[in-house]
């Protein structure tokens, strides 16, 4: 992942996870999280991540990977499909056989939560959330 795409934002792994899993661009994903309460340059609390996933994607939480290392999970995941994987202090996307992140696929970090993504939702509420988030971001950057 190219961290120059962060647009002056740090601690934005959840933004990148939503970007890659949902096919949003970084600005849209960042705006969604801002509208839901994420502060610029701050990590994203799990309840906000869950709200963003519920709003934008059709997901199914899965327990089959809990407690396993990233390395062992990556070896068992299918080469097609999208998963968002959460390890302590970080979240990332696995999409069609590729880890869409800086995290090493042979990492020994343990999975603490995981979601299977079946589809991106499209509705007016998402567009309104993006617009509201962009307004919040423009105010916080000035």
| Residues 21-66 pLDDT 10s | 999 999 999 999 999 999 999 999 999 999 999 999 999 999 999 9
Q: State residue 66's pLDDT score.
A: 95
Mean pLDDT of 65-81: 93
Residue 105: which pLDDT band, with cuts at 50, 70 and 90? confident
User: Who has greater pLDDT, 5 or 69?
Assistant: 69
DSSP label at residue 120: E
What average pLDDT does the segment 111-131 reach? 95
- DSSP label of 23: T
Residue count of the chain, please give it.
Answer: 142
- What global pTM score does this model have? 0.91
Percent of the chain with pLDDT strictly greater than 90: 80
Grade residue 142 by pLDDT with cuts at 50, 70 and 90: low
d(CA 80, CA 83): 10
pLDDT exceeds cutoff 80 at 15: yes
Q: How far apart are CA 132 and CA 78, in angstroms?
A: 36
Evaluate if residue 1 carries a pLDDT over 60.
Answer: no
Is 101's pLDDT higher than 60? yes
Helix (H) or strand (E) holding 83: strand 82-87
């Amino acid at each position: 992942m190219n961290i120059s795409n962060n647009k002056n934002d740090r601690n934005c792994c959840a933004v990148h996870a939503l970007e890659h899993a949902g096919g949003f661009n970084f600005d849209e994903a960042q705006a969604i999280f801002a509208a839901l309460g994420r502060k610029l340059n701050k990590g994203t609390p799990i309840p906000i991540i869950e709200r963003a996933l519920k709003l934008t994607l059709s997901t199914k939480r899965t327990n089959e990977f809990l407690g396993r290392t990233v390395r062992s999970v990556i070896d068992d995941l299918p080469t097609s499909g999208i998963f968002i994987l959460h390890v302590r202090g970080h979240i990332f996307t696995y999409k069609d056989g590729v880890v869409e992140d800086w995290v090493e696929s042979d990492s020994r970090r343990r999975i603490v939560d995981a979601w299977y993504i079946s589809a991106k939702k499209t509705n007016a509420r998402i567009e309104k959330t993006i617009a509201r988030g962009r307004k919040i971001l423009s105010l916080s950057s000035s």
